[in-house]
Structure 1
Amino acid sequence: MGHPDLTASTLALLEQELRSRLAGFAETGRRGLVRVGKGLPVAFGRAARAAGLPLVTVLPCRDGMPVYLAEPDRSAAGELLLLSEQVRLVEYDPADRTSCVTADEGLLRSCARLLAVWDGSPSNGRDATAHLVAYARSHGVAVEVLWPQGARHGAAACAASA
């Protein structure tokens, strides 16, 4: 989970950092969980696979059927599905921020730990990272914040990502 507007160089930094952190989780029998989307979810999925951590990808559905994803999330979903050992369908609208945040809150309640890619900034109406970090902490989920030196936001923001 983290900021949806990260630069390509930041995503590369994070993929490397995540790979080293996730390697320890792979030995514990845990699984990584990611909500489908471009950018950070794909970097997480690649890092999990490289670290040997089983990956669960969450796809949006409506009435139990997967929903159509717009590009570039559709391409990202294809890669994440190939990296995953399991897929979970969750009822939410990927085009609706509130729906995505509600889905993320539900997913967080099932997690033991949250790796949050977060620069410490407050929620701004598009990016719900600060809210989700606070939500996880308030529900007893251990939170580890990642923001490597040199990390940057991109110019264009997009929908919230897992």
Structure 2
Amino acid sequence: MKKEVPRLAKKLRMLRSELRLTQKEVADRASVTESAYRAYELGDRNPKPEVLTRIAAALEVRPEYLSAPVFENRHEFVYAVLDCEDLFGYTARDFDGIAAIAPSCDSKAHFFEEFVRDWSEVRKKLDDCEIDEKEYVEWKRTYDSGV
């Protein structure tokens, strides 16, 4: 039976390939051994947070892009969304029959609103053919709202 390759391993391989780098080049840039990097890319090992940060820099993406949570099913995603209420004050709202996630009355975490506005603008540019799919994917990989 074939082993399922973790999402991080797939991202590492894809990014390295797009940059036309060898595993050794990424390893050197990230100050890790080539064998350690190879193990990360194969999904045999997971890098420590500080190593992941160096690998992200070597691959020219934000560390969060590489460490984003992986949801195995819809239930895991739903519980992650529910955690946002406790963590950041966002909750479910109904706006004229349209379900949405919005800040609660006492929420001070308005970063999500800024993110959704930014995402909407970039997505509209893609839909209007002002940017191509590659530029859209690049935006997603490097998004930084300043938080």
Bin of the TM-score, shorter chain as denominator length:
under 0.3
Which structure's residues are more often helix, by fraction?
2
Q: How high is the TM-score relative to the length of structure 2? A: 0.22
Which structure's residues are more often strand, by fraction?
1
Query: Relative contact order, CA 8 A, sep 6+: which one is greater?
Result: 1
